[in-house]
Every structure is written in structure tokens, then in C-alpha cells.
Copies of this chain bind each other. A is one copy, B any other.
């Protein structure tokens, strides 16, 4: 592609409202332009990157046995009413009325549409399993669109849906899709983890998010430093075996701790470790109240509380509720001598605390010399805290570290959530009606491009991995008024294309400084500079990723390029 024929509107300045690297650089390098908040045009270079992501996705989907179709963006409200999401999705669901005042949803996802399609066409177990995917523009009315393509309102996704007559069949498809996703993000060059995720209110069980490691990610991942274990921090089990010290038990004593409220203040005031304090939090769990105890240096993980108690809703009690139930303020809570109707559950670590400190349910007082079971009773010990850096990895291999992640993919066992709501059934081998068992699998295609931009850049611009680069080679004559340089550049442009390389040719009448700055910004993997030695047939080859530079005779150019650009 001749640069004069395409549109690559580079910017020298960092756009004011772009907070993160990928957003800044995709704007500056002329890959995207904003048309409205959270809504972007993909300029020619971005379109090429997206096509490469899409091609990789298609190849891996086909290999996993998924078949491509394309559903509409405008989806009738009736389907969303059947699934009830019309009522529960909230303002992120974009709705519109047609000229006949019929309601439509501009689709953020397609569980409803695909379920209705398969329900209408598949009646027998003989036609299952089925795994259908599409690559399509999706719409979600984010309250606060931000970070460029990472959280936009119109974005490109690959979404797949599988339908099964048995759990085993779903498990098999899930595993295939898991492998496909790993392949896709590996081929995109991303540093990512498949992370155990919360199946949330969807009713499913297994679910993994594919997270690209990045400081700008909105999620925190706990991962092992020596195995493939990774989980959203709220999902990571804690497997520490706490040792109770054999220090002699002191007497329980109430001490004055005037104005000392937080764990930090109290431990410092009493000169004890935070790990010797017992933190007490009162939760409203569905309709009853539960006191949850964790060690002072730990944090309660309310998802674990929710799962332990098989509750629908878990939230911290308000100051008023705390006063009513415990007759004290939130900062004074403790487990000793409390109303026996309040259930007490404690993290395993609390059991190992010897001669600890806890609140006295009385302003300005704490207990010291506290020992569990002697001084207070616990209905149940369980894993109730968030995992921390330094904890052992739950799979027994290595130590936990934290990282931030950008979610680029999600695989999910839906079960019968949609097939029951929408009555998608088949006849099994015995002629009995059964609900189809479903899985769903998403990849943010445009978000993947942004995640790659976030991971591959330096102070001069983007640095595309070969597999996703808009072009593989950037040919730049230093002075295109010099006949030898221009002619050699044009010959190379043409020859390299004939040899199957994707070439961007800077034929613009710009100063060398502008051309090099643009080239660094755009980030084509290999640059060929045609300069003073053009007449000798010698050009400079520079690798964007590591800055490696070498002078090469054009006779050896193809061979040299093939060492950098392996297809």
C-alpha cells in the first residue's frame, strides 16, 4: 500500500482525554478516531489488524468444531422478554422502537437469538451437539465509556454458543473452546492467563476469563509464580494450613482503647501484630445477620461468605442495623458475649490466633488475651478471606502473585439458564423432552487489538507482533526526490509484495524526520530504509521490536526478511 493512497492521520501530541497507552497510541498512530463517546471509526491500519485477529479467531473456531453464522444486530424485544433480561439488563441495554412502535434491542450479546433459532430448528438429540459462532458488532450503553477501545459502546466481538444433549458433551466443547482461546491469544502474541472466574448469577458452573496482564486492567488476578494457576482474586481459594502457637493462654481482659478504631490504630496502640487481631464484620445475609471474623491482616471475601451460606444476597450491615442487632457501632464489633441468635462464622486463620485482640461491642474498649472457642464460639470455620500475595498457590505449586488484567475472552457453561427460560428442548433417545444444555464463549476482537497495543509499545509508538501487524514491512526512501532512492524503493515495494510480504511504502514528500517518527508510531515490525547507499543496492533493515539494525544488500534482502518474518 502506498502511504499517499491511504489515510493514516498521525498526531504529534498526546490527546488530552486519552488516559492509557493503547488509547493514546491508537489515536496518535492514526488507527482510530472517536465519532461519539465510546464509539470509534477503525481507520485503514486498524481495519487490517482487526482482520488479522478475525482470521486467527476463525481458524481456531473451525478447528474447535464451531461453525460460523451471522445474526442480526436488531433483535426483537419479545426474545429478551422471554429470557427476562428485558427487565433485568438495565440501561446498558440499547433499546429502540421501529416505525411501527415495536421494541427492539440493539444486541450486546446473542443468547436469546441463537436459542430461539436452535429451538426452532433442532428437535432431536441426533442433531446435537452444535457449536455456532459469529463475528459481529455489539452494542452496550456503558455509563462511563473509557480507555478507548477497552470499554466502548460499540465494539466487535466473536460470540459462540454450543448446544448439547449431555453435560459430558458440554464439558468436551468447553475444553475445546478453552484450547482454542489459548491458541488465539498465544498467536496474537499476548501475555495472558486463563483465570478461574465467578459464574455469578448466571447459574452456570465452570467459567474462565482470559486476561491479558496489564497495569491498566480493571480486574485483579491471583496467579502462581510457578504453575498455570490463575483466578480472579475473589475466586481463589486459600489453602494455608495455619499453625496455632503453643504460647500459654493469657486471661481475657477488657482494656481501654480511647479513640482507637481501625485495626492499624488498635494494633499500634496495643503494640501487637495485626495478625494477632480479630476483625469482626456484621453482614446482612438474605434476611438474617451473620458476624464474620477474619484476622486483622486479612480481608473478608463476601463471595465466599455467600457461597458458604448458599445465600442470594450478602451485604455489610448498616450502622443502624448494627446498632439494633449488636447494640454498638461498626468499629466496636467483636464476637464475645453476643446475642446467641447472631450466627458467627470465622476464617480458618482466626482459629490459630492465640491471645488475640478484638472489639468489645463497646465504644473505646477492646478485649486482649482473646482465644477462640474459650472466649467465644464459632458456628463454622471456613475459607472466608481474600487470597494475598505470598500465599501458597491453591494448586500446591508455587506462591501467589497479583497482577491486573484486561478481559479479552470468556468461556462459560450456561447450563439450562436460557433453554429453560425460552423452552429450547429436544427429544432424547427415549423420546423424552429435555432442555438443551448450553455453553457460551466470547472474545472481544476490537478489545484484543487494544490489549496488544497496550502490551506492545515503547516511548516512540506501537510495536505490532508479526501476526497482527497491519503491514509486515515499511519501505521508506529517505529522500524520494533522489531518483536512485525512489526507484530502488519502488522496486523493493513491488518485489516484496510479489514475494508475499505485506508492504507499506512511504511515497510521501515529507522530511525524513517526519517519516521516521510516523513509522515508529505506526509500529510496522520491519523497516527498510532506502538512503545514501541506494546506488550500491544497500539498504538498512531495522526491527521495531528490539531496534536491531543491519545494512543489507538487496540481493540478500528476502532471505534477511524471512529470518524476522516467519509465516
Residues of A within 8 A of B (CB): 1, 4-7, 9, 33, 35-36, 39-44, 46-48, 50, 65, 67-76, 91-92, 94-96, 98-99, 102, 104, 106, 113, 116-118, 120-122, 126-127, 130-132, 134, 137, 139, 141, 143, 153-154, 509
Contact = CB atoms under 8 A, between A and B. Distances in A.
Contacts of A76: 35-36, 39
Contacts of A35: 71-72, 75-76, 113, 116-117
A438 to B, nearest CB: 15
Query: Copy number of this protein in the oligomer?
Result: 2
Given A39-B76, A41-B70, A99-B141, 9 more contacts: A5-B130, A7-B69, A7-B118, A7-B121, A36-B76, A44-B132, A47-B68, A74-B106, A96-B96
A229 B36 CA distance: 45
A74 B44 contact: no
A478 B155 CA distance: 46
A74 B39 contact: yes
Contacts of A113: 35, 41
B91 A96 contact: no
Contacts of A509: 126
B65 A5 contact: yes
- Per DSSP, chain A at the interface is mixed
Contact of A67 (B6, B40, B91, B121): B6
A44 B67 contact: yes
A73 B154 contact: yes
A1 B74 contact: no
A131 B99 CA distance: 34
Contacts of A134: 47
Contacts of A5: 65, 67, 130-131
Nearest to A79: B35
B104 A36 contact: yes
A278 B113 CA distance: 60
A74 B33 contact: no
A153 B44 CA distance: 27
Contacts of A127: 4
Nearest to A2: B65
Q: Give 5 nearest A-B pairs by CB, closest first.
A: A96-B96, A9-B121, A42-B70, A91-B99, A36-B76
27 contacts: A1-B67, A5-B65, A5-B130, A5-B131, A7-B67, A33-B121, A35-B75, A35-B117, A36-B74, A36-B102, A39-B72, A40-B72, A41-B72, A41-B117, A42-B70, A42-B71, A43-B69, A44-B69, A47-B134, A48-B68, A50-B70, A72-B137, A74-B106, A92-B99, A94-B96, A99-B141, A106-B106
A494 to B, nearest CB: 15
A102 B37 CA distance: 11
Given A7-B132, A74-B154, A104-B36, A143 B99 contact: yes
